Structure 1
Amino acid sequence: MRSLVLVAAGGLARETLAAVRASGSHGRVLAVDDDPSRWGSSFDGVPVIGGLEQVADLLDGDVVVCAGRGGTRRALVERLAGLGVTWEHYARVVHPSVDIPASCVVGRGSILLAQVSLTCDVRLGAHVVAMPHVTLTHDDVVADYATLCAGVSLGGNVTVGAGAYLGMNASVREDLAVGADSVLGMGAVLLRPLPAGQTWAGVPAAPLPAAYPVGVEA
């Protein structure tokens, strides 16, 4: 059974570990992190062996990036590329409660936690994170590095751009686009397209000032 390296030893790494153990997809699990204060520590029995450079010596196994924000995942993937980590090294982590229909596609490096639901013809890019109880319906497309927090619901034929962040229990009406690197706040209801790079919240969702705190996890 292949080993797995968790990159970034925070909360998402612990959630990913729980999904890995529930599925039995990997044997030995290790973690790396940029924070030297974590080196030599462990969580749930997983040792944090050092910084990202350690991954270069572990490419006989799989890798998954466990940073909560898409922009951080993207930056880590770019750094790992310089260490020889290519697309085929990245694992898909899927909790065993998640059914992936034959018409659906899940990209490398993506993490689907418990009770995520995909109906049909859903396409997830690389390094997407879907937290528990996310609902993805027909013809949804979620681009690389997007983050869907717990309870997010997308109507049919929704497009979520690369690096977008949808907060807990946010919902998106069918046939809408969520722009790249945008943020949709917790509990928001999106009824019109959300442009790239903007932060919206509320019911119905509307733009927020750029300095408004939205609690996006790094």
Structure 2
Amino acid sequence: MSGLLIVGAGGFARETAQAVRDAGEFKLLGHLDDNPALHGTEVDGVPVLGGCDLVHDLPDARVVICVGNPSNYAARARLVRRLALPADRYATVIHPTAVVSATSEVGPGSVLLAHCVLTAAVRVGAHVAVMPQVVLTHDDVVEDCATLASGVRLGGGVRLERGAYVGSGALVREGTTVGAWSLIGMGSSVLGDVPPGEVWVGSPARRLRAADTPALDELSTRTARATRTVGGPLT
């Protein structure tokens, strides 16, 4: 049985630790967190071994990054980039009550918590957080580093672009795209496409404002990288 390190020691990390214990696929070694006050303590009986960079000192352990919240949902992507681990170091954690169809795929570093459902030909990328009781229906695509809070429902053919955050209980109409690093407020009903880097709330959902700085920084970083790939170095 492979050992597993959970990067982070907050709420999402604690929920993931419980899923790991329930699934029994990995031996949970402990949490890693950059808060020195937590080092040497235990969280729900799981030790906090040290800072996040300790992953490099334990090369045989698998890793899953479990950080981020609505006020800073870009934190997971930043840690992925900072740690620069190969894809095969990352584990995929799926709670035993989650239902993943044979035609669906879940990428490395992603976490599916209790009672999630992926119905048919769903594609979930890397480092995606799927909270309890989320339903992803046929042909949905969830790109890397997205977050789906508890009770989210996506209609068929929805695309959540990189880093998108969908709040608790939100509904997204079939065939709709939620742009990269945008945030959908809890309980919202999304009936049309959402541009990148915006916050939308309400039923029907409407634009409230631009996303917070960490998300916009990730959006601009991705855009700059794409420009360099297509057009060569930026000057």
Tell me the TM-score normalized by structure 2: 0.86
| 1:50 aligned residue | 50
| 2:29 aligned residue | 29
CA distance in 2, matches of 1:67, 1:188: 23
Aligned residues: 209
Q: Which has the higher helix share?
A: 2
Further displaced range: 27-36 or 157-166? 27-36
**What is the CA distance between 1:211 and its match in structure 2?**
8.1
Letter in 2 for 1:122: V
Matched, 1:194 2:226: no
Alignment of 1:1-218 (within 5 A): 1-69=1-69, 70-81=73-84, 85-210=85-210
| Stretches of structure 1 lacking an aligned partner (at least 5 in a row) | 213-218
**What is the CA distance between 1:92 and its match in structure 2?**
0.3
Secondary structure, aligned partner of 2:150: coil
CA deviation map 1:169-206 (0-9, x unaligned): 00000000000000000000000101100100000000
Letter in 2 for 1:118: L
CA deviation map 1:29-52 (0-9, x unaligned): 211111111111111221111112
2:184/2:199 contact within 8 Å kept? yes
Task: List structure 1 segments (4+ residues) > 2 angstroms apart after TM superposition.
Answer: 209-212
Secondary structure, aligned partner of 2:30: strand
**What is the CA distance between 1:26 and its match in structure 2?**
1.0
2:190/2:205 contact within 8 Å kept? yes
Root mean square deviation, CA, Å: 1.3
Letter in 2 for 1:116: C
CA distance in 1, matches of 2:210, 2:129: 24
CA deviation map 1:5-59 (0-9, x unaligned): 0101111111001100110011142111111111111112211111122111112
Q: From the superposition, tell whether residues 190 and 109 of structure 1 become closer, same or farther in structure 2 (CA, over 3 Å).
A: same
Letter in 2 for 1:193: D
Tell me the TM-score normalized by structure 1: 0.93
CA distance in 1, matches of 2:68, 2:93: 15
CA distance in 2, matches of 1:87, 1:129: 16
CA distance in 1, matches of 2:65, 2:30: 12
Q: From the superposition, tell whether residues 9 and 198 of structure 1 become closer, same or farther in structure 2 (CA, over 3 Å).
A: same
CA distance in 1, matches of 2:134, 2:53: 33
| 2:227 aligned residue | none
CA distance in 2, matches of 1:60, 1:18: 22
